[in-house]
């Protein structure tokens, strides 16, 4: 199928891109890699009179890092994220999530910012952003602002972005010390969207006690969810004082927005999710030890 007719715009600066979308209002849409938007347009599930292409905006591309943080331009492709040495060293969870996204053709075109702005409930990058307390930078006619990942995702395909606001960059804290990371998911086939997934980060102190941890589940609700109550309960424990199976149940049992669809009932997804959380926790904790 083909999309409905639209007018194509290729601005040269972020300010120009924002101005175009602000001018045309609801009839305009940003497009970067197009791996999520184009299928919607081709299937006539969405239609816009104006598409504003971000590919010429070089300042939205690339990775900048120091000892404190790693900032990634919004139009940086999945493939670039997955092979960047600084990301692998300072934000390894993000690099490990990348091979789970679709197939190599999608990773060569899809962008980090596009994945976050699209906010699919089963997507990997939003869960990683939540787990690592990333900060999302934006630009609008009102200026720039920073949004914590915990405040960014509102529901399926819904974010804190205003209609005329452009996602410009994502900043992850650089993590040093005794950390362990893991991301696990269950899919029908390799490259499919996750029926249930979990991202975990855990930091141990010098006595091998849990000093900080983050557990995020995805595919089990309209947006990724941090298990903050469980995280707080784990702080101060040793590895021997945690049971991965019990932990998985503790994370997924309270979830009351688990979907039922052709891939499984809510109860099935919740049980699968508990196993996935347990696997991710065990792998992350083993790495930290």
Question: Which residues are 158's β-sheet partners?
Answer: 155
Q: What does the alpha-carbon distance between residue 208 and residue 146 come to, in Å, rounded to a whole number?
A: 34
3-state secondary structure (DSSP) of residue 43 = coil
> Which residue is it, tokens 């990775």?
63
- What's the pLDDT at 41? 86
Q: CB-hemisphere CA count at 13 Å for 127? A: 36
Q: What is the DSSP letter of 152?
A: H
Mean pLDDT of successive 10-residue stretches along the chain, which has 289 residues: 90 97 94 90 90 95 96 98 96 97 92 96 97 98 97 95 97 95 94 92 96 97 97 95 96 94 92 98 97
Domains and CATH numbers, the chain: 7-53 (3.30.43.10), 58-173 (3.30.465.10), 179-288 (3.30.390.50)
Model pLDDT, residue 10: 96
User: What pLDDT is stored for residue 192 in this prediction?
Assistant: 85
The secondary structure of residue 170, as a DSSP letter, is E
Q: Provide the pLDDT for residue 24.
A: 95
pTM reported for the whole predicted model: 0.95
The conformational region for residue 200 under phi > 0 = left, psi -120 to 50 = alpha, else beta, is: beta
Tell me how far apart the alpha carbons of residues 49 and 75 are, in angstroms, rounded to a whole number.
Answer: 22
Strand partners, 203: 179, 212
Using the structure block, give the residue that is written with the tokens 């609008």.
140
Strands (E), 149-193: 153-155, 158-159, 166-173, 179-186
């Amino acid at each position: 199928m083909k999309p409905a007719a639209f007018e194509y715009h290729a601005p040269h600066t972020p300010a120009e891109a924002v101005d175009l979308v602000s001018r045309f209002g609801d009839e305009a849409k940003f497009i970067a890699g197009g791996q999520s938007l184009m299928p919607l347009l081709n299937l006539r599930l969405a239609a816009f009179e104006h598409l504003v292409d971000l590919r010429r905006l070089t300042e939205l591309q690339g990775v900048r890092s120091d000892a404190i943080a790693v900032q990634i331009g919004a139009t940086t492709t999945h493939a670039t994220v997955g092979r960047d040495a600084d990301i692998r060293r300072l934000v390894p969870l993000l690099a490990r999530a990348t091979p789970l996204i679709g197939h190599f053709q999608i990773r060569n075109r899809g962008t980090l910012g596009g994945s976050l702005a699209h906010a699919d409930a089963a997507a990997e990058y939003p869960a990683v952003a939540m787990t690592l307390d990333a900060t999302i930078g934006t630009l609008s006619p009102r200026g720039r602002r920073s949004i914590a990942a915990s405040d960014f995702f509102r529901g399926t395909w819904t974010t804190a972005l205003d209609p005329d606001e452009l996602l410009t960059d994502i900043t992850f804290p650089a993590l040093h010390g005794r950390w362990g990371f893991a991301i696990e998911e269950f899919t029908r086939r390799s490259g499919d969207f996750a029926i249930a997934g979990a991202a975990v980060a855990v930091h141990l102190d010098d006595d091998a006690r849990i000093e900080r941890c983050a557990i995020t589940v995805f595919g089990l609700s309209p947006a990724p969810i941090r298990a903050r109550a469980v995280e707080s309960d784990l702080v101060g424990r040793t590895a021997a004082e945690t049971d991965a199976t019990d932990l998985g149940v503790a994370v997924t049992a309270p979830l009351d927005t688990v979907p039922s669809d052709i891939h499984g009932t809510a109860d099935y997804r919740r049980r699968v999710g508990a196993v996935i959380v347990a696997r991710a926790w065990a792998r992350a904790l083993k790495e930290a030890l």
